[in-house]
Structure 1
């Protein structure tokens, strides 16, 4: 049984991930998604709730003779032999499309050259994006690079400003530089966490893998490892937070400089954004109402967990503020 457009609209509330291909901005993806959903909702046949009416002439005797007046009559009450006209009250050309706009919010954005998981919130789900932002989730990227040249914008399609040799680079040297970058960022993460590292709270968070800053910080790389190495190309897996895709490209450039060479970034692909992974992301062929409803339902558990973490964070901040206030009063 086909569901009505109003019933489908009631189901479109929540968060869901989509796959953004390279070469498109996040605005292009959002507008295309919105256009497809509105087109599908408006294509569903509307149920006519009004009773079709027919204006029939009726004669009556007056002072000047027989007068004709138009009387409104229900079609259902007319004899079958009298032809009736269809009601055009709810026709699309008369009333217009039922849905003209959908509220769709976007999470942590991807630039035009990047691809991967992009989280959207539809209707009331757009409000949940602020909770996702306040949780300061980590994100995973697969970043590819090529040694031997440097460009003005750190991409392989940018203006070349330098070419260098790279035959002296080995995987061991690359992994040493990766460990150095990871160590310096780990130290910065502990500084921004504002937690006593000798406390039980710090130990519990470290065991759960949740020891991370709870405030906005500069871009931090929490983990990095080499997946593939075949000169001049290499592939890294990077776990980070508060990053931009341009910062990741600049990191590839800096790795090349540390290895006495140069490097450019050839691909940036986000594989995870908080609890949302690439496996659950909808490709463009699945940008329809039914697929979105299923994706929102599948992500419901992740959203509930996000709410729980947000409440825990609020209680931790309230407790810290209360302790700070009591210390000030005691002084």
Structure 2
């Protein structure tokens, strides 16, 4: 039972990381729950071996002892003798979330760890909801950081915010095309641009594919950011710089990842579901989609000419700041 259970654990799945929990602690908790489930499975029947034991002779009135062939269980495989059958598992973590962020976190078990590298090479986009508060600035761009400045925000409107967001998106889309290393005169590049699947072919600074305002009720506003190669701290800095562009200040009160590639919140297992059977079912359900998406995104592109990637501080169009408003190097 334990070996068959382990065979169904090779693959990728997603969990929901709550805020305040380190990703390393989450991984260790998942590993502990999986080991607990595997070791709780009913062990196979112990092997039998023949031993000659001294037993009373049958049919004899006298208490004579004779050697009799007897089948007895082998105790070398008994859990109380050898200990638990499973003591560790190979668990990999995909695009990580810092301790203050929450949302979709992709994990891999066993041979599925190889797929994490393929997942990284596809440069898939991730989607975040970022909540900001107008009117103050802190040293770490977080709501509960050390207060640096307080400002007024009565002049900020949703129209002004959306105007700034459009500038952000436009500057980053220009950098996205540059880092994609595509021949912009090719038909393939045109079709990819129409489908919105242009991606950088190598490591790049944070690139924002799309950003929009979901809710605006001063001093609070909520953004949806579609990006790649980001860190959660860079997203908090984005909120700070948006505040500066609006002639005020802003801090980030929440960063929540709602989508990591093809894994969404609907795929993410809650803390109460971090057990063997739920994770096995999640891996089996995600396996066909993982294979299809990796095949589609890792397929060599035809009709494109690989151009030298931008490098060095003299390349124009590279977002020097989070807003990407000034040219500069990565």
TM-score bracket relative to the smaller structure? 0.7 to 0.9
Q: Which residue does the alignment assign to 2:328?
A: none
Structure 1's unaligned 5+ residue stretches are 60-67, 76-85, 325-331
Return the match for 2:261 from 274, 290, 293.
274
Q: For the structure 1 residues 137 and 203, does the alpha-carbon distance in structure 2 shift closer, same or farther, using more than 3 Å as the test?
A: same
Cα RMSD, aligned residues only: 2.3
Unmatched segments (≥5 aa) in structure 2: 57-64, 309-330
**In the alignment, what sits opposite 1:262?**
249
- The structure with the greater share of residues assigned to helix is 1
Residues 227 and 136 (structure 1), Cα distance of their counterparts in 2 relative to 1, 3 Å cut: same
Which of 11, 15, 18 matches 2:12? 15
- In structure 2, what is the Cα distance between the partners aligned to 1:199 and 1:90? 64
Q: How much has 1:99 moved relative to structure 2?
A: 0.1
After TM superposition, the structure 1 = structure 2 runs for residues 111-260 of structure 1, keeping only pairs within 5 Å, are 111-260=98-247
Alpha-carbon distance in 1 for matches of 2:231, 2:89: 28
Q: Are the aligned partners of 2:46 and 2:78 in contact in 1 as well (CA < 8 Å)? A: no
Distance 1:127 1:152 in 2: 39
Q: Deviations over 1:277-321 (max 9, x none)?
A: 1111111111122211211122122211233135413x659x857
Deviation of 1:69 (Å): 9.4
Q: Which residue of 2 aligns with 1:83?
A: none
2:46 and 2:219 map into 1 onto residues whose CA distance is 68
Larger radius of gyration: 1
Mean Cα displacement is larger for which, 195-204 or 257-266?
A: 195-204
Moved over 4 A (4+): 52-55, 68-72
Q: Which residue of 1 aligns with 2:25?
A: 28
**What is the CA-CA distance between 1:202 and the residue it aligns to?**
1.0
Work out the CA distance in 1 between the residues paired with 2:131 and 2:75.
59
CA distance in 2 between counterparts of 1:156 and 1:303 reads 37
Q: How does 1:37-48 map to 2 (within 5 A)?
A: 37-48=34-45
* 2:300 maps to 1:303: no
SS at match of 1:279: coil
3-state SS, counterpart of residue 197 of structure 2:
coil
Q: Contact 1:26 / 1:110 at 8 angstroms: preserved in 2?
A: yes
Post-superposition CA distance 1:197-248 (Å, at most 9, x none): 2320111112332112121110011100000000100000000000000000
Structure 1 position 110 matched with structure 2 position 97: yes
Change (3 A) 1:105 1:316: farther
1:135–1:306 CA contact under 8 A, matched in 2: no
Hey, what's the Cα distance between the residues in 1 that align with 2:70 and 2:100?
64
Q: CA deviation at 1:52?
A: 5.9
